[in-house]
Amino acid sequence: MTTPRVLPIHGFPGTEEAIPFTITTFDDLGSPTQDALPHRHEFYAIQYVTGGKGNHIIDFSPYALSPDTLYFISPGQVHFGQFTRPLEGYAIVFLEEFLLYPGSFSSSIYEMSFFHTVGQKPVLRLNRPDAAGIKSHISAMAREYSHTGQERLPLLRAYLYILMVNIQRLYAAAYPVQNSVKETSFVRKFKHLVSTHCTQQTPLETYAARLNVSTGHLSNAIKELTGQSPGQIIRREIALEAKRLLAHTDLTAAEVGYRLNFEDPSYFGRFFKKATGLSPSTFRKQVRIQYHDIVSTV
């Protein structure tokens, strides 16, 4: 198997209608080969798995697939599946703007702690009664999706919102944190901004301006809530992007560095080693052995 030269980025799947929202079963999704290759999305995805066997690898962490489990993929995350039995269940995908349509709810995607997770897994295993509730809600969503008429759009938005608030409650119970939703949503918003801007050299003031706070407040708040300085978080995100490119492309280490705005390959090497404990080329070898193992042991 040859490594693709570039890492695929999937835009919103083409639909006959204009709304950035779809719900499908994995059967209807067609070629599972697409999901078996490392790729990333511009959209959010909630996967409700009811059957199938294998592993789902999200940004280098493998998660065994099991029934009655939800998987949350945020924009930019590199993921792929290794299936020995095809997936069963639903995939719900949407863009953030779907929640922000005129007349929609004022809530923000960043209030959902299962997207842009801060330390927690992007996975939620449901117990039997919770799974039944989520499943019937998603089934109702899928039915509404196949309808036509004016009420469809507001209903789908409402269904999605209620689904996410319900998931949020279960997720918060599974992964308790001490900070409030408002505080952690600020962190998630910052981290998402960082993940989309870290490949350019973006000064701290730009992030602060986007978040409508001063640089001083940004530094203090992020340090307070995460224990890390903004700079540390930015560098961690850059290191993650470097890992993605090393693992999934044929770019040389120096080229990966250039892409991430490192003028000097030698400094990039030192940066990467400090962040991950491994040199770029050792990481590349190691992760490919790991993935090969996952492929062959499943």
Partner DNA sequence: GTGCAAGGCCGCCAAA
Partner DNA sequence: AGTTTGGCGGCCTTGC
Compute the least distance from the CB of residue 294 to DNA, in Å. 23
Residue among 50 and 228 whose Cβ is closer to DNA: 228
Q: Smallest Cα–Cα separation from 57: which of 110, 125, 121?
A: 121
Compute the least distance from the CB of residue 74 to DNA, in Å. 23
* Residues 194-223 as x/- pattern, contact with DNA by CB under 7 A: ---------xx---------x-xx-x---x
Residue among 114 and 272 whose Cβ is closer to DNA: 272
Q: If binding is defined by CB under 7 A, does position 236 make contact with DNA?
A: no
Cβ atoms within 10 Å of 26's Cβ, excluding its own: 21
Where in 238-297 is the site for DNA (CB under 7 A)?
Answer: 252-254, 261-267, 269-271, 273-274, 279-282
Q: Which residues contact 75 (CB under 8 A, 6 or more apart)?
A: 40, 41, 42, 43, 44, 192, 195, 196
Q: Which residues contact 263 (CB under 8 A, 6 or more apart)?
A: none
Residue whose tokens read 């919770």: 130
Q: Which of 82, 230, 241, 248 binds DNA (CB under 7 A)?
A: 230
| Chain center to CA of 83 | 20
Compute the least distance from the CB of residue 5 to DNA, in Å. 15
Q: If binding is defined by CB under 7 A, does position 39 make contact with DNA?
A: no
Helix axes 280-297, 265-276, angle to 10 degrees: 50
Residue among 85 and 217 whose Cβ is closer to DNA: 217
> Which two three-digit tokens encode residue 120?
């927690």
Compute the least distance from the CB of residue 145 to DNA, in Å. 44
Q: Which stretch binds DNA (CB under 7 A): 56-64, 92-100, 131-139, 228-236?
A: 228-236
Compute the least distance from the CB of residue 24 to DNA, in Å. 40
Residue whose tokens read 């929202």: 21
Number of residues that bind DNA (CB under 7 A): 31
Q: If binding is defined by CB under 7 A, does position 225 make contact with DNA?
A: no
Helix axes 230-248, 280-297, angle to 10 degrees: 60
Length of the chain: 298
Q: Which of 104, 232, 276, 290 binds DNA (CB under 7 A)?
A: 232
Helices (H) and strands (E) in the chain, counts: 10, 8
Q: If binding is defined by CB under 7 A, does position 235 make contact with DNA?
A: yes
Compute the least distance from the CB of residue 274 to DNA, in Å. 7
DSSP states of 114-178 as a string? TSS-SSS-SEEEPPHHHHHHHHHHHHHHHHHHT--STTHHHHHHHHHHHHHHHHHHHHHHHS--S
Residues in touch with DNA (CB under 7 A): 203-204, 214, 216-217, 219, 223, 229-232, 235, 252-254, 261-267, 269-271, 273-274, 279-282
